[in-house]
Structure 1
């Protein structure tokens, strides 16, 4: 049975969900995303978030207070490939960094409509390669939420195709696995979805793809290779648009005899692990157990 807190959060999300004028929204983001991302000063100070100037790409770092060099997480934030990190991202990542005793790298990768996925991959890949010089690949976690979850899986697939070492774990929170959102069961999910706008996502996805085919696994990783990837863990709620593709992904993995950690939470909304609800605490513990178990076993 779901918690009353999760029910309240979902009701609030539904009440605040507005009908979006897609063209106006995209134009607003076109202007906003021309300026460099600036993390709110209060958040940066509160969570002691550092900025890594090793690369031209803005990358932020959160370190645990104890044993920060045991493991590293490369976190690709969500936001439909058009939004910059939100405050809840930093709150969630701070909690995660303290519980795993590790360091989290958060690149603010190029966004639509000013940039496309090729630019994002070109700028994030060197960061992953840098992390390989700091720890063993099995001690790296590639992680992301929503669009960032799709990006994380696609990056792991690109690493596989490029013969670059896989991370030990790939953790996906409500991942956007098919940028086309063409699964026939998605339409039925719209009445349950309290956050996402299907039409907007489809249009932004086209902009992010540029001239590339939307079926390209770098955009729709559900079409990419599964054999040979790091251990995959996927968290999804039954009240979100991405549920049909998550279930499809699970079936595809099973057909290839690939064992994934699949966590489907009844009546949970999009990216529910970041919300202040009991179910999020349970999901966080599951993530921590997955990360610590695999990394500690390599010592």
Structure 2
């Protein structure tokens, strides 16, 4: 009997969450007019009720999530069975980490090294694999996806060890002008940090750096972050700061390895940034773009009006436009 009561209470909570999400999203549709597709609105609703922001904002939930991540990281990642890949996928091991390559057999084609986000503790979502499949198919590129070491057992130094080996293998096989380093959210920040590492060491830069909703300052110190956090249906700043502190370990939080916003940007070659106006990463993404311009680095920003965190990753007309732009950049 008690179990049924609890179940009904849980169902009512979900129902209330869905109703609230629908009301909020419909309000946004009214505000933005034709600036956002219906598919994007439905996606935002799904993100809102997924509970990820609640996990980040609740210390006990976040602690539980990290414990689950620790267990999951010990198991080999299995590709989601409900993703229908239209390109071949091969699995390998690099520096002790799993690595998946889409279009692995392509020769003399562009190569994308893609770093998935997940606040440095989550593994790739089903939506990531759907997006990566579209990316490989539409760009006719080889897409290399390392399952780099993450929290709570690992820190940024462990991730860098994997990236160094992958990049070394890639750029000895194809011209660096055909290499794109790319990522979303935490993975986008890591991609930027890695390109800054190459600059620090005087190593060849990839032809392109593409970032989707990058996490560029591990402490999110920009005062404008608070203004955008309320609109963000995915992220919570306090939870991210806690995770960022663990990820940085002994590094100063303004060190470029964890906060590429403060690094030396002049060695970077060509940068493309996608970011939504309804996410807390927006202010730092704009700041980063301005710093690149000041150091005479070519940068193009694509601003998703009334769109959410990592909007190109989720299928929508706006995502399709982003993929077309990525195709142009990767093949330029």
- 1:75-90 mapped onto 2 (5 Å cutoff): 75-90=114-129
TM-score (norm 1): 0.92
Secondary structure of residue in 1 paired with 2:54 = coil
TM-score (norm 2): 0.83
Please, which of 113, 116, 131 is the counterpart of residue 92 of structure 1? 131
Contact 2:87–2:103 (CA under 8 A) maintained in structure 1? no
Are positions 1:53 and 2:93 aligned together?
A: yes
Please, which of 242, 245, 252 is the counterpart of residue 213 of structure 1? 252
1:30 shift after superposition: 2.6
1:55 shift after superposition: 4.3
Instruction: List runs of 5+ in structure 2 lacking aligned partners.
Output: 1-34, 56-60
- Name the count of aligned residue pairs: 292
Deviation string 1:169-220 (CA, Å, 9 cap, x unpaired) is 0000111111111110111112210111222211111111112111110100
Q: Radius of gyration: which is bigger?
A: 2
Corresponding residue of 1:235: 274
**CA distance 1:54–1:153, change in 2 (3 Å):** closer
Corresponding residue of 2:64: 24
Contact 1:117–1:209 (CA under 8 A) maintained in structure 2? yes
Contact 1:64–1:101 (CA under 8 A) maintained in structure 2? no
1:146 shift after superposition: 0.6
Corresponding residue of 1:271: 310
- Measure, in 1, the Cα distance between the counterparts of 2:153 and 2:187: 17
Deviation string 1:241-273 (CA, Å, 9 cap, x unpaired) is 100101111221222233301111110101101
**CA distance 1:6–1:202, change in 2 (3 Å):** same
Contact 1:68–1:101 (CA under 8 A) maintained in structure 2? no
1:87 shift after superposition: 1.2
Corresponding residue of 1:33: 73
- Measure, in 1, the Cα distance between the counterparts of 2:253 and 2:222: 14
Corresponding residue of 1:141: 180
1:64 shift after superposition: 7.4
Are positions 1:11 and 2:51 aligned together?
A: no
Instruction: List runs of 5+ in structure 1 lacking aligned partners.
Output: 295-299
- 1:178-257 mapped onto 2 (5 Å cutoff): 178-257=217-296
- Measure, in 2, the Cα distance between the counterparts of 1:12 and 1:82: 21
- Measure, in 2, the Cα distance between the counterparts of 1:126 and 1:12: 37
Secondary structure of residue in 2 paired with 1:19 = helix
- Measure, in 2, the Cα distance between the counterparts of 1:261 and 1:41: 36
- Measure, in 2, the Cα distance between the counterparts of 1:145 and 1:120: 15
1:45 shift after superposition: 6.6
Secondary structure of residue in 2 paired with 1:249 = helix
**CA distance 1:45–1:275, change in 2 (3 Å):** closer
Larger fraction in helix? 2
**CA distance 1:44–1:4, change in 2 (3 Å):** closer
Question: RMSD between aligned alpha carbons?
Answer: 1.8
1:149 shift after superposition: 0.3
1:61 shift after superposition: 0.5
- Measure, in 1, the Cα distance between the counterparts of 2:310 and 2:95: 29
Corresponding residue of 2:24: none
**CA distance 1:8–1:253, change in 2 (3 Å):** same
1:46 shift after superposition: 6.3
- Measure, in 1, the Cα distance between the counterparts of 2:327 and 2:216: 23
- Measure, in 1, the Cα distance between the counterparts of 2:122 and 2:92: 21
